[in-house]
Amino acid sequence: MKKMAMALLVAGSFAGTTGWAAERTFQIDPVHSSVQFRIRHLYSTFVGRFNKFDGTISGDPADPASLRVSARVDVASIDTANGAREKHLRTPDFFDADHYPMATFESVKTTPGEKQDSGAVTGNLTLRGVTKAVTFKGQFLGSGTGMQGPDRAGFHATTVINRFDYGLAYNGALTNGLTMLGADVELILDIEAVEVVPAVVPSVSKSPVK
């Protein structure tokens, strides 16, 4: 549900917690991040994930209103540890991945939380061609120099959406009147992002014209 990105992507709201300077851009590192979901299945809770996603977090962390999050998730990359189930989830019963291959999130507002290092990102989540406003709430986990040089930052955030709002209406009825799947889906983002460092273009000295 999106590089839920989505979230994704959510990281940009947790401002005022580091010594970052002015405008900076961080890119989500999919190798060290995860986009997961939880949904009720029968009498328990089921967890799945998406394996392909990307996104950026940009702005001046000293100014929460300036921070922007943009993310996308390849819905066909859904992973539930069961090939037959994943094939079904890609069909029109659920994500209709052939017609709507990407879920996207674009932030419109960031708000610091009451607790230190907490915050919220409100934005537009587009899934299966439907766009709805959602708010991710979460926590800034820290930042600093990475193993290979550029700074990194970490975040955790969650939100809950109603899958029926996005046309994911497939279900099955049980003999006791309950349904196979719940309506609410929790999206869980654990994001590590790495700073995009602009390339340094060497200056070229020019010989004086003779």
52 inside domain = yes
Distance CA 87, CA 76 (A): 9
Torsion of CA 140, 109, 150, 139, to 10 degrees: 10
205 inside domain = no
Q: Rg (Cα) of the chain, in Å, rounded?
A: 20
Q: What pLDDT tens digit does each residue of the chain (210 aa) get? A: 433 334 433 443 343 334 445 788 999 999 999 999 999 999 899 999 999 999 999 887 667 667 889 999 999 999 999 999 999 999 999 999 999 999 999 999 988 888 877 889 999 999 999 999 999 998 888 878 877 778 888 889 999 999 999 999 999 888 887 889 999 999 999 999 999 877 655 655 555 555
Residue 187, beta-bridge partner list: 37, 159
CATH of the domain at 163: 2.40.128.110
Per-residue CA distances from 90 to 75, 86, 117, 168 (Å): 8, 6, 37, 11
154 inside domain = yes
2 inside domain = no
80 inside domain = yes
188 inside domain = yes
49 inside domain = yes
Per-residue CA distances from 15 to 29, 69, 130 (Å): 20, 13, 30
